[in-house]
Amino acid sequence: MRNWMTPPELGDGVKMPQRILAVITVCLAVTMAVMDSAIANVALPSIAVDLGVSNAGSIWVVNSYQLAVTICLLPAASLGEIHGYQKIYRWGLLIFTIASGLCALSTTLPTLGAARVLQGVGSAGILSINTAMIRTIYPRAQLGRGVGINAMVVALAAAAGPTVASGILSMAHWPWLFVVNLPIGAVALAISMVALPVVPPAHRRFDWVSALLNALTFGLLLIGVDELARPGAGVAQAVELLGALGFGIALVLRQLSRPAPLLPIDLLRIPIFALSALTSACAFTGWALGFVALPFYFQRTLGRTEVESGLLMTPWPLGIMLIAPIAGRLADRYPVGILSSAGLAVFSVGLLSLALLPAAPSDLDIVWRMALAGMGFGFFQSPNNRAMITAAPRARAGGAAGLLSVARLLGQTAGAAVVALMFEFYPDEGTRMCLRVAAGVTLAALLVSATRLRPTR
């Protein structure tokens, strides 16, 4: 008779109470990875003063982390398929936890930046295969529930990040923002040793050349897009973007002859997967356009304080938290084309209603619109993520999870870049323009999503 500590058979998830412990591990790991980006943003002024660097220089505390995460997502997903998801997940947890300690001990910007790069590598080990891990934990009939819980945790971490950071900074110095990860990481790692299901490794070698091309492609793309959105962009930025294009073409050509490519173009041949990935990228572009631009509107136009702006932003992630688990459960029963399209419709209405705010809105005027946008996005996200991970063959779940994270990050990067451009061209109406563009991009995502209502072969 099989007990709960025995590795499960592929396809049936894991039994209780192992499932609960595995979910706790995933929730703790994802919370750290998502929250860490938000709390570092809040601490940048303190870090700049303490390390004696400019505000612009301190931005690399955030950028180095994001860059490391992005270029390592697909390689980490591939390593998960080759060596087993549970091993890469544990390595990600271990590296992230150690790097958090190194961040706390850093006394110069270069050492802090290097520690943040290492932390980003660990975070990629977690985020790249997080959804694939959920697929092994939950039986297929309940997978939407697991994806919904994961979306709820991500929203909670994103919402709580600035509040947690402000609370810690009110009582302690900025290194404690990283110290708090040490006990959480240690607990998550300890539970993971007995709770994460064992996935048989694939019998193939890691493609180091593709990993290098991937790093050059996404690294140059992110740097180029970030700098292109700033005033004074010129030849250097164009060279970076052209370099990203060239390395990207070389990467794609190399993948065409491989049965399990690092860049999962084999999965993009599956219609439902390709449409879901495109929908996700468009939706997250709209998300970033709204979520990045609104704090400027609250503070610069309405004259609200940072604390008040944070509170006004909260209904958005709270809406995701409330609706994502419900949407996940519905995704186990109803088609993704219906659920995600309905969510995107509500999301676009929420964005458009924010763009049409009166000149002097009350808190209630803002709150219900923010909540509507959040609930619409949450209703879209869980079914869409479930569709992506289940459309891929089980042996390629790592590649599917990695591409899911890449689509999210690319959408967020594109959205943030457009925000910078809108503020440059429309200094007085930048936020409203961003929200209008966000509503348009979301409607484009809705059109892509709706094509999934048609039967696909």
**Is the domain of 185 the same as that of 312?**
no
How many CA atoms lie less than 13 Å away from 426 in the CB half-sphere?
14
CB count in 10 Å sphere of residue 105:
13
**Is the domain of 125 the same as that of 161?**
yes
Q: What's the pLDDT score for residue 9? A: 40
**Is the domain of 158 the same as that of 301?**
no
pLDDT in tens, 88-138: 999 999 999 999 999 989 888 888 889 999 999 999 999 888 888 888 888
**Is the domain of 215 the same as that of 309?**
no
**Is the domain of 347 the same as that of 369?**
yes
Number of compact structural domains in the chain: 3
Q: What's the pLDDT score for residue 349? A: 94
Only one residue has tokens 């991009």, namely 441
CA torsion 364-367-371-373 (nearest 10°) is: 110
In the numeric block, which tokens belong to residue 400?
Answer: 């599917």
**Is the domain of 388 the same as that of 331?**
yes
Query: Exposed (0-12), middle (13-18) or buried (19+): which is 299, by Cβ within 10 Å?
Result: middle
Residue at 2 is within a domain? no
The last residue of one of the domains, among 257, 280, 296, is 257
**Is the domain of 328 the same as that of 435?**
yes
Nearest to 381 by CA among 173, 194, 163, 144: 144
Give φ, ψ of 456 to 5 degrees: -115, 145
Residue at 115 is within a domain? yes
The last residue of one of the domains, among 223, 257, 291, is 257
**Is the domain of 311 the same as that of 411?**
yes
Q: What's the pLDDT score for residue 392? A: 84
Q: What is the rounded distance in angstroms from the CA atom of residue 131 to the CA atom of residue 147?
A: 7
Only one residue has tokens 């879901």, namely 276
Q: What's the pLDDT score for residue 100? A: 92
Residue at 382 is within a domain? yes
Q: What is the CATH number of the domain that holds 164?
A: 1.20.1250.20
Do the Cβ atoms of 325 and 152 come closer than 8 Å? Answer: yes
pLDDT in tens, 386-408: 888 888 888 888 888 888 888 88
Q: What is the rounded distance in angstroms from the CA atom of residue 141 to the CA atom of residue 64?
A: 39
The 8-class DSSP code of residue 303 comes to: -
**Is the domain of 59 the same as that of 138?**
yes
Q: What is the pLDDT along the chain (457 residues), one digit of tens a residue?
A: 344 443 434 446 778 888 889 889 988 998 888 887 767 766 777 777 778 776 666 677 777 888 888 899 889 988 988 888 889 999 999 999 999 999 989 888 888 889 999 999 999 999 888 888 888 888 888 888 888 888 888 877 877 777 777 777 778 788 888 888 899 999 999 998 888 888 888 778 888 998 999 999 988 888 877 766 566 666 777 788 888 889 989 988 988 888 888 888 888 888 889 899 999 999 989 988 888 788 878 877 888 876 777 788 888 888 888 898 898 889 888 888 899 999 999 999 999 999 998 888 888 999 999 999 999 998 998 899 888 888 888 888 888 888 888 888 888 878 877 887 788 778 778 888 889 999 999 999 999 988 887 654 4
Residue at 1 is within a domain? no
- Residues 216, 222, 226: CA angle, nearest 5 degrees: 145
**Is the domain of 285 the same as that of 219?**
no
* Residue 11, Ramachandran bin (φ over 0: left; ψ between -120 and 50: alpha; else beta): left
* Structural domain harbouring 85: 7-203
Q: What is the rounded distance in angstroms from the CA atom of residue 3 to the CA atom of residue 128?
A: 29
Residue at 457 is within a domain? yes
Do the Cβ atoms of 147 and 13 come closer than 8 Å? Answer: no
Q: What's the pLDDT score for residue 345? A: 94
**Is the domain of 391 the same as that of 440?**
yes
Q: What's the pLDDT score for residue 232? A: 60
**Is the domain of 320 the same as that of 445?**
yes
Residue type, 170: S
Q: What is the rounded distance in angstroms from the CA atom of residue 413 to the CA atom of residue 189?
A: 30
